[in-house]
Amino acid sequence: MLRQYFFLPLFFSFLVGLRWFSALEAVDVSKSDPSVSAQASVSQQLLRQELIEDLDRLASYEHYYHSLTGRFTLVLNRIGFQFSSRIRAEYDIRIVVASADFFLLNAISEKDGKIFDVVSVDQDFQVHSKFALPSPRREYLRAQAFKHLRLLREAPQGVSIPETGIYRGYFEYSLRSSSSQELHAFALGVKSPVDGDLIELSASSDEGLTLELESILAGDPVERSLARVEGAEEGLSVGQEALAQTIFLGEMGRYPKDLQELSKITRFQLRSEADSRSGDLIQGESKSPNPGRLVIEPIE
C-alpha cells in the first residue's frame, strides 16, 4: 500500500515533465546564433548563456551520480552542484523526472506572473527551449575540450570515446604519438567562437591546462570562498565524499589535494553529524587502504 502511495507523486512528476518537454521546441545547438534575438537584452542573454552552461554541467553531475549508484536522482542536493546567486534569483531549476535510465532537468523564469524562459535538458544532453541558445563562451568550450582530450588520451587503444555535453561539434579531435612514444591529444576548433583554436594535451601541458580549467569551473569566487569555509568546518558524509571525488576526478583529471580544493568543484549541503569524516579525505595521500582510489559506499 505504501509503495502505491509513493508511486503516485512520482508518476505525477513524470506526466508534468513530459508535458513541459513536449511543449518546448528542440534546439539545434550547432545553429546557435551569436547575436541571438534582438528582443532580449544583453544582460538577459548573458544570464541565459550562464544558465545553459550550468545545466550542461548539472547533467554531467547526474551522470557522475549514476556511475556510483546505477540511477539518476531527483534531489539536487545529492549531486553537489550549486548554481550562482544570479541564476537562483532568476530561475526555478528542478529535476522533474529521474530513473535508472533517464532524467529531465527544467529551468523556468517568471516575470509579472508570466512564464518568460523555459528550458529543459535530458540525459542525452538534448536541449528543448523557448529561446534560441546564446553562443557559448570560448573559455567554456575550451574547458569541455580539455576534459574530452584527457578521456581520449587515457582511453585504452582502439576504444572510441564519444563527445558528450550540450555543445558538441565545436572541436575536432585527434591522437598522435611523438618520437619519444608519448601520446599527444589535439583539439582543433572548427566553429566560432573557437574556430582555429588548437589545444594540445600532453604530460608537459597538463599543469597549465588544469589551471585554466579550474579557473573556469570554480565559479563565483565569493560564493566558493563561503563554501570552502563551511566545508572545512563541517566535513562531508561518506557518500558525499565518494561522489564529490568522482566528480572532481571527472572534471579535473586528478584527485583533490584537500577539502578546500574539492569544494571548488563540488558543493553539498554539509552536515555536522558525529560520523562526518572531514579529516579523512580519500586521495592519493589519504589514510585509505587503497591510496589514489575511491572507496565507494552507497549514497543514502
pLDDT of residue 207 exceeding 80: no
265 or 79, which is more confident: 79
The overall average pLDDT reported for the chain is 74
pLDDT average, residue stretch 198-223 = 64
| Burial 115-139, CB ≥16 within 10 A → b, else e | eebbbbbbbebebbbebbbbbbbee
Q: Are 245 and 293 in contact (CB under 8 A)?
A: no
The rounded distance, in Å, linking the Cα atoms of 288 and 283 is 8
255 or 115, which is more confident: 115
The rounded distance, in Å, linking the Cα atoms of 206 and 146 is 9
Q: How confident is the model at residue 40 (pLDDT cuts 50, 70, 90)?
A: low
118 or 210, which is more confident: 118
Task: Give pLDDT, residue 65.
Answer: 93
How many percent of the chain have pLDDT more than 70?
63
Task: Give pLDDT, residue 291.
Answer: 34
Q: Which of 58-62, 113-117, 205-209, 251-255 has the highest mean pLDDT?
A: 58-62
* CA 217 from centroid of its chain's CA atoms: 9
pLDDT average, residue stretch 17-33 = 50
pLDDT of residue 63 exceeding 60: yes
Q: 274 vs 35, 230, 245, 277, 288, CA distance in Å? A: 53, 16, 21, 8, 19
Amino acid identity of 45?
Q
Return the closest-CA partner of residue 210 out of 162, 266, 256. 256
Mean pLDDT lowest among 94-108, 131-145, 180-194, 218-232: 218-232
Q: For the segment 231-280, what is each residue's pLDDT rounded down to a tens digit?
A: 333 456 777 778 888 888 888 777 777 777 777 777 765 443 333 333 33
Q: How confident is the model at residue 204 (pLDDT cuts 50, 70, 90)?
A: low
Q: What are the residues facing 198 on neighbouring strands?
A: 188
3-state secondary structure 118-138: EEEEECCCCEEECCCCCCCCH
206 or 24, which is more confident: 206
CB atoms within 10 A of CB 288: 15
Describe the crossing of helices 206-217 and 138-154 by its angle, rounded to 10 degrees.
Answer: 130
Task: Give pLDDT, residue 223.
Answer: 40
Task: Give pLDDT, residue 234.
Answer: 47
